[in-house]
Structure 1
Amino acid sequence: MSSSHQRPSGQTNVTQHFEAYSVDDHNSAWSELWDSHNGDLWDKGSPSPALIDALEKEDSLTPIASDGHRKRALVPVRQMFTFPDSMLTEVQGCGKGYDVVMLALHGFDVVGLEISPTGVSVAEEYARHELQDPREYNFGAAWYKRETGTVKFVQGDFFKSHWEDELKYDLIYDYTFLCALHPTMRSRWASRMAHLLSPGGMLVCLEFPLYKDPSLPGPPWGLKGVHWDLLEEGGDGIVGSRKTTGESDGRFRRALYIKPERSYEHGQGTDMLSVYVRK
C-alpha cells in the first residue's frame, strides 16, 4: 500500500476500512471501496515488473531454497515459461487490469476476475485504450514481439463457480489477492487454486508482503512462509500453527523460488517470485 495512505498507528486506510466489516462480508467491503472511487488505495499504476522479467528473461536465475540459502543449480527462466499460444491464464483480484493486459500483450489469452462491477468497468476501459496503444511499461528489455492474446474481464466471487464456465487454467497469477484475504480463508484459496488449474498448470505468485509481521491486522496481511505452508506442506496458512487441512497437501510442488531484480517500490528487496506446479 502506498505510504501516502499510511496512518500514524501503522494501519493503512484500507485496514481501517475493513475493521467495520465481518470476514463474511469482505466482498462488500472491497466493492464499497470501488464504488466510492477509492480504487487508487491499492493501485500500483503499472503491471508487475517482476512478472514481466520472468516472462521475458533469457538467462538463468539461481533459485533459493525454503531455508533462504541459494541453490547451486540454475533454472532457465525461458524454459519455465515456454507456453503454447493457446495458453489460458487467469488473474484474480485483477484491479484495473494492468497485469491482464500485459499478459495479453505477451501472447496469453487472459481472464481477469474482479468482485466489483465498477472494477470490471474500469479494467475494461483501461484495456480498450492500452491494447490499441500499449505503453512502454508493459515490456522489459528482453521483449520480443508476439501476437496479442485475448482479454476478458469477469465480475464474480473467486470462491464460487458461477463465473468460471468449468474452465481449467494453464496459468494463474497471484500478487495481492492472497494477502487481501483474511487468514482464515487461506486454506480455501489453496484448494480453489488446485481446482481451477489443469494438471501441470502453474500458479505464479509474487509473494507480498513478506516484510510485514503476520500478527498485524490487514489487509494486506503478512505472508512470510505462507505460500510454502499452504501449497507444499498442506497447512492452513497460519504459519506456526502446525495444522494441516488435508485439502491442499500434495497438490503442488514448488518449481521456482527467486528474488526478482525488479519489483514494486514497497516490495523491492523483500518480494519473492515463486512458481508452483499443479500435480
Structure 2
Amino acid sequence: MTTPPERLQSPEGKSRLIKHFEQSSIENHNAAWDNLWETDNSDMWDRGKPSPALIDLLEQRADILSPIAANGQRKKILVPGCGKGYDVVMLALHGFDAVGLEISAKGVSTAEEYAQKELQAPQAYNFGYAWANKFERGSVSFIQGDFFHSDCTKGEKFDVIYDYTFLCALHPNMRAQWASRMADLVFSGGLLRSVIQAHHGPCKACTGICWLRVVMESSIPPKQKQQVGTGSFERKWYIKPERSYESGQGTDMLSIYARK
C-alpha cells in the first residue's frame, strides 16, 4: 500500500522528498537517493503498481507501441529510475525485453525480489482489458548504476525508453545532460515515452505539460541544443489517458517522442 500524499508533507507544507533534496548539493543527489532506499523511505515515490496509462497504451494502441519490431525481433525497453520494478515486470509480461535501472543497490535487490515473485504469479493490476496469457513474455533484468555514466549500460541502445517522473526527479541544471543521454541511448526510429504529471517533482524541476517539452524545445539555449542532441527527437503523440494513477487521474498526459 502506498502512502497518501498528505502524509508525505512536512509541517512547513513541503513534501518530505523536496526537503530531503534541499539539503543536498547536485553532486550528492545519488547518495541522497541511496539514503532513502537504505532508510526504507521509498514510500515517498512508490505507487504500488505499474502505470495504468502505460498498460492501456500497450493493449489498445499497438500501432503506437508494440513489443515486436518489423523484423520480428522483440524490442528492448529501458526504464530509468525503475523503483521497485512494477513497470519493468509489466512490460515484460506484455512482450518486451525490459531493463530497469536504479542508482541504489538496495533498490535493485528489491526490484529483483519483486520480479521473481511477480513473474511466477502475475497480479491482475498488470493488465487492463487483455487476458494475461495473450502476450508471449519477454525478459526482465536490472542494472545498478548511474544513468549518466555511459558504462552503466555498456554502450547498449534501446528501442524504447520509458521515463515516468525520472526527469522530474532531477535538478533543473541536469536537463541538458538528460536530453543528451536519452539521445545516445535510443536507436534511430526508437521512442522516448513518458507520462507527464501535473505536479512538482522532488526538485521542482518540471510541472504539468512542460515536463518534456521544456527539455526538448525551449529550456536549452539554441546554441546548446545541437550539442546535447535535443534536435534528435520529434514529438509524435500527446494523449490524455483514460486511466492513470489516482493522484494524476484527469491531469496526467502521455507524451511520446520519436528518435530521428
State the TM-score, normalizing by the size of structure 2: 0.90
The amino acid that maps onto 1:88 is K
* Residue 7 (str. 1) matches residue 1 (str. 2): no
8 Å CA contact 2:168–2:211 kept in 1: the answer is: no
Q: What is the alpha-carbon distance in structure 2 between the residues aligned to residue 188 and residue 56 of structure 1?
A: 33
Aligned residues: 249
Partner secondary structure for residue 111 of structure 1 = strand
Residue segments in structure 1 that go unaligned for 5+ positions in a row: 58-76, 237-241
Other-structure match for 1:162: 151
Other-structure match for 2:63: 79
Q: What is the alpha-carbon distance in structure 1 between the residues aligned to residue 67 and residue 142 of structure 2?
A: 22
Say if 1:143 and 1:185 are closer, same or farther in 2 by CA, change over 3 A. farther
Other-structure match for 1:227: 212
8 Å CA contact 2:84–2:108 kept in 1: the answer is: yes
Matches within 5 A, 1:146-161: 146-161=135-150
Partner secondary structure for residue 250 of structure 1 = helix
* Residue 37 (str. 1) matches residue 33 (str. 2): no
* Residue 258 (str. 1) matches residue 242 (str. 2): no
Other-structure match for 1:63: none
Partner secondary structure for residue 120 of structure 1 = helix
Q: What is the alpha-carbon distance in structure 2 between the residues aligned to residue 34 and residue 243 of structure 1?
A: 38
* Residue 179 (str. 1) matches residue 182 (str. 2): no
Partner secondary structure for residue 150 of structure 2 = coil
* Residue 16 (str. 1) matches residue 19 (str. 2): yes
Matches within 5 A, 1:1-279: 2-57=5-60, 77-84=61-68, 85-143=73-131, 145-208=134-197, 210-212=198-200, 218-219=202-203, 221-224=205-208, 225-231=210-216, 233=217, 235-236=219-220, 245-246=224-225, 247-279=228-260
Shift in Å at residue 222 of structure 1?
3.0
The amino acid that maps onto 2:224 is T
8 Å CA contact 2:78–2:160 kept in 1: the answer is: yes
Hey, which of these two has a bigger chunk of helix by percent?
A: 2
Give CA deviations for 1:72-126 in whole Å, capped at 9, x if unaligned. Answer: xxxxx32111342520110000000000000000010011000000000000000
Give CA deviations for 1:215-273 in whole Å, capped at 9, x if unaligned. Answer: xx833533331411322x2632xxxxx66622234211111101111111221111110
Q: What is the alpha-carbon distance in structure 2 between the residues aligned to residue 204 and residue 35 of structure 1?
A: 29
Give CA deviations for 1:7-51 in whole Å, capped at 9, x if unaligned. Answer: 243311111111221011100000000011111221100000000
Partner secondary structure for residue 113 of structure 1 = strand
The amino acid that maps onto 1:139 is F
Say if 1:190 and 1:7 are closer, same or farther in 2 by CA, change over 3 A. same
Q: CA RMSD in A?
A: 1.7
